[in-house]
Structure 1
């Protein structure tokens, strides 16, 4: 798993102490959210924003009325600070002062417009093109190239000014990020190409970016400087990166061929709409939503993503699943106001990516843990209570819940997954590719963590309201629940142990889930039963309901006896609240059969019996099926059973095909 990256600017090191997040009473606040927009009819099949090189980037051939005309050549003497002024850049190459700080510092409300062929060139000398914190700036129809912003800094809107409109520009071949962003920015219909780090880096101290629109742009070839290899683990690469953004619409973009993830939201982002984008052939994940909240990821097409990173991981023998969509400690959280209280992933087409949708929670990553390397804390805890996420206090509620991101309230539905191993990277080993996962690691660190052991592994699978359903799968998909070493078939994924993908189809049909427990008694070594006092358990070859054998239960005790499973604490994988069908076939054997009870016992992890459901087995002389539908009680994780009778001596009954599923 990739971890949170280096800070976007120096202030990001204090994300755990964000200001403006939480009022004095500790309640989380955000601006009033608009209702969700209606989704597009279907995921795009062709680029929705083929912007680079198109005529849409050509500006007006004559200057707007009242504009200051900026001639080509050296513009270092032009006063760009006038507020509410329009500047028209004539066709040709424009340059700034011949030092690293040569830059345009606009006034509030200023507009910058390029004629066809107007190029603002940093000459690989100037750090940034447009800087400082003016509001309401508009930039249109310029080609901006050759600037050399340092890592995590940007060429346009370097200081994240608010209410900027940046549209119909080509911003390419720069160092750092093509764009930074502030609150209310509208970034539309631009070509953001071949920049050294990002096409867009959206961060502003205090979680104050709201109302961000990133629409109809083409992001391609970014991260040419390959920052992840320069600084391994920096988490600082890709087409676009969002940090602590509280409300963003990322719609209708073509995000392709970036070196790293295509779209990465990282660290206390919230209220994202990611819709109608074509995201393809990015070296790493197409969409990465990490330690963040409440998002609608819908009606996107993701194809050919993560081939490079997936293959690189596979060559090391590391089987951690790589996906097209990666949800890492991503929470649907109703206490953080947004247009949704879920991570809703729906209506997407995922085609021949290295993997599908991976949902992950790092058990050791939480507020103030050394494993959370940037020092960030959840939005729920807020700055006032951050210090309480510490030994002692964190063991109790509400801090045990609120001091970590859980990966919860995921709703993954109505997506289409297609996968052909031969079409992925020229062929990929299915040990490593074609996986969808819902998993965590075994918690070990630090010593004071209340999440050690399998606490988070159980939570992410069984108690965090994470649901896959009504999806369509084509190809040899496999699934990774609970732990990275647990690679299972669709039938097991939909079965009672995990209960996922109800209503989904796999290659046109629904898989038949295996039972959580099954006793077929096909050999003398197949009996997991222990006789009680006065009873015996005997394998009986032939004369079975099905197959080659059955089990004979006899008793010599006139007052009754019984037998029990010897697999304490029982069969694992029980899901609390899940319905299970209990079924067996039985008949009288050799002598009069007494009334028998089949006692299904639900247990917790400690083996404590939480409830017993008796199923009567009245005397039958021919093979008869006994069935019942049972609902596992709260906290149940295991199940076993006994057979008991209160009277009778002599041979009792014969059983076969015992299942719970």
Structure 2
């Protein structure tokens, strides 16, 4: 059964353990203005490595404690349950054996005196191991454990990711692999995790009978700096195995008030089926890659954090990606999954401060990333909605001939609910109330994506058995998945990326059909951008399809090369019965529009034989779909040569939509051509 954790209770606990003085917690703090100063100076309380609180342990052994003398502690009995061990000042070693290590008993405590150091001498691979529960380790410097590559994806402290451990006031540095492994209901706090070979900390443990083995983590008030000294991304290109902290398949994590900086990779990385995370009041600065990467995971709140100068190296090394301060990759919100810690079934990015990162927030979905596909870099994993979540061996590593053809996400993926549930989705991501600052001259920019906000999808239609197309996924991510930017403050030279990743201006980003960043400002201006055309591209130009045009009565409407004014196609209208006829935009109640001045423009000519006259009616409706007014533009003087028609109109107060009707008289067989129709804000 899940151990219940709620945001308020957790924040109350960490408050008693040293919450930064004068700082607000809980819902009240979310209303705090970003432009108010809490981010202007790095708080002293999170400079853990400078504060050296690991030197503040008891100067003498607590009553009843077992004294561990300095020197070689090989053969010392560290395995007694319920005992407190006090490490005397000086350097402690564990002998020369590769697996010389401390294996605690249940409920035991390990305390260091000021000056106590546990040194692995680069001979011992692990410091603390085993499956004992409820162990506490505090006030120790722990260094030089591991033997290079042998420690990849291994942890030095709590190597076996045992449950209920509390690790606090530690200085864990120059260890190979991860300095700390996090298991179920673990806490690491007030610790300096610095210059380790792979990670400062990592959370992973194999599933136990289908249940997540790691739940309810607290990572609070640590300094996490300079990790990935062994440069794993160069050793194993694209391994995705480096940085400050890595979370894998964790349910419920509270990550608060940490100073995460100068890591040689990602700062905080939640990768693969993580659910229900809170990232609050962290200071994340100058990491080589992303500040926070939330990848194929769900339900997170990322609030009141500072992001400065992240992604500079990653952005230059991979110019095909934004290398953002926050990277949301195939991740989002889902009401079917827990939200006790995050407080929301959306993925919320709110009230954060960003300054001179390579780019801002990137919401991305790989169209090829789903269970049992060649685009799933977490090869043996499936989404949380399909059983089994961990795909039995052998799994699909051999596209186009999948080995495992029995998993439901291969055999039944074409049908619902598997079509939806077999892929990770970037959906229900809300980016609101943040302050984004970007001064191009301060950032080593390269490529297209420096200084962008991004909402896009990429991939290839290269799997015959996959039911998805890249176009479908792009449309979902941009228009129908509930992803939105709103009420943000932008200062500087920002660009915006959509679709395949092509960049557009602020005005295009905010206008139909994207409609992003409502209520936001750019360089102090909150003016709504003019809409260059209320009509979609195909209805306007007919280049890709007939758009919304449809026959209404006594006429046919078709997309035709014969009717092209510019480009390859236009609208061809042919009268099918004598006297009155009509065609219309068939997308009730019409296209999104707003009140105010409009400029209408289009081109028309006679076909053969030609329609001599017609009327274009512009219908303005309110949000209740009630017709407010209809304006008419007369098409007269038509000939077989193109003629431009323009009009200046005013959409009435309360306008929400606009629609078009084209009507006229004539005999059967008469033809009219229409192209390049624009309804623009004046």
Normalised-by-shorter TM-score class: 0.7 to 0.9
- CA–CA distance in structure 1, aligned partners of residues 661 and 299 of structure 2: 46
After superposition, the C-alpha distances for 1:568-594 in whole angstroms (9 at most, x for unaligned) are xx9xxx9999733495569xxxxxx99
**Partner-residue secondary structure (3-state), 2:253:** strand
TM norm structure 2? 0.76
Determine the C-alpha separation between the residues in 2 that align with 1:440 and 1:294: 20
Comparing 375-384 and 73-82, the one that deviates more: 375-384
What's the TM-score, normalizing by structure 1? 0.78
Residue 229, structure 1, aligned to residue 248, structure 2: no
Match of 2:79, SS state, is coil
Q: Structure 2: which 5+ residue stretches go unaligned?
A: 12-25, 392-405, 537-544, 550-554, 557-562, 566-572, 602-611, 637-645
Contact 1:442–1:457 at 8 Å: present in 2 too? no
Superposed displacement of residue 595, structure 1: 8.7
Tell me by how many angstroms 1:597 deviates: 4.6
Alignment of 1:79-90 (within 5 A): 79-90=77-88
Provide the rounded CA distance (Å) in 1 between the counterparts of 2:163 and 2:514: 46
More off after superposition, 47-56 vs 618-627: 618-627
Paired residue total? 572
Aligned to 1:347: 351
Report the alpha carbon displacement of residue 47 of structure 1 after superposing the two structures with TM.
Answer: 3.3
Q: CA shift at 1:311, angstroms? A: 1.4
Note the C-alpha offset of 1:65.
1.0
Give a deviation string over 1:260-292, Cα, whole Å, max 9, x none. 000000000011000000000000000000000
Question: Quick one: distance in 1 between partners of 2:589 and 2:373?
Answer: 30
Q: What stretches of structure 1 of length at least 5 have no aligned partner?
A: 1-28, 520-527, 540-552, 587-592, 602-610, 633-638
Give the deviation of 1:123 after TM superposition.
0.4
Contact 1:30 1:337 in 2 (8 A): no
- Alignment partner, residue 268 of structure 1: 273
1:478 equivalent to 2:495? Answer: yes
- Aligned match of 1:363: 367
For 1:470-619, what aligned pairs fall within 5 Å after superposition? 470-484=487-501, 486-510=502-526, 512-516=529-533, 559-560=579-580, 579-581=592-594, 583=598, 596-598=615-617, 616-617=630-631
Q: Within 2, Cα distance between the matches of 1:93 and 1:363?
A: 53
1:435 corresponds, among 443, 452, 455, to 452
The answer (yes or no) to whether the contact 1:443–1:455 under 8 Å persists in 2 is: no
CA distance in 2, matches of 1:389, 1:656: 48
CA 1:585–1:289 in 2, change beyond 3 Å: closer, same or farther?
A: closer
Q: 2:383 matched to which residue of 1?
A: 378
For the residues of structure 1 that align with 2:53 and 2:675, how far apart are their CA atoms?
76
- The one of 9, 32, 41 equivalent to 1:46 is 41
Residue 327 of structure 1 corresponds to which residue in structure 2? Answer: 328
Distance 1:384 1:281 in 2: 35
- Does structure 2 retain, via aligned residues, the 8 Å contact 1:584–1:627? no
Match of 1:130 in 2: 128
Structure 2 vs 1, CA of residues 66 and 444 (structure 1 numbering), >3 Å: closer, same or farther? same
The residue that corresponds to 1:152 in the other structure is 153
Q: Distance in 1 between matches of 2:410 and 2:263?
A: 42
1:404 aligns with 2:423: yes
Q: 1:274 to 1:623 in 2, by over 3 A?
A: closer
Aligned-pair CA distance for 1:57: 1.9
Q: Which residue of 1 aligns with 2:663?
A: 644
Deviation, 1:538, is: 14
- Give 1:54 shift: 1.8
- Contact preservation (8 Å) 2:457, 2:500: yes
Q: Give secondary structure in 2 for the equivalent of 1:395.
A: coil
Asked if the contact 2:584/2:662 (under 8 Å) is kept, the reply is yes
Q: Deviations over 1:442-501 (max 9, x none)?
A: 4423221111241111110111000110000001110111212x1101111111110111
Aligned equivalent of 2:432, options 413, 417, 430: 413
Answer 1 or 2: higher relative contact order, Cα 8 Å, separation at least 6. 1
- How far did residue 655 of structure 1 move? 13
Aligned match of 2:62: 64
For 1:20-72, what per-residue CA distance to the aligned partner results, in whole angstroms no more than 9, with x for missing partners? xxxxxxxxx85544255505456543334101142422112111111111111
Contact 1:470 1:505 in 2 (8 A): yes
| Corresponding position of 1:393 | 412
The CA RMSD measured in Å over matched residues stands at 3.9
Q: For the residues of structure 2 that align with 1:478 and 1:306, how far apart are their CA atoms?
A: 17
1:619 Cα deviation (Å)?
8.2
Paired residue secondary structure (1:498): coil
Q: 2: distance between equivalents of 1:168 and 1:32?
A: 26
1:109 and 1:243, CA in 2 relative to 1: closer, same or farther beyond 3 A? same
Q: Relative to structure 1, is the Cα distance of residues 294 and 184 closer, same or farther in structure 2, using a 3 angstrom cutoff?
A: same
- How far off is 1:623 after superposition? 6.5
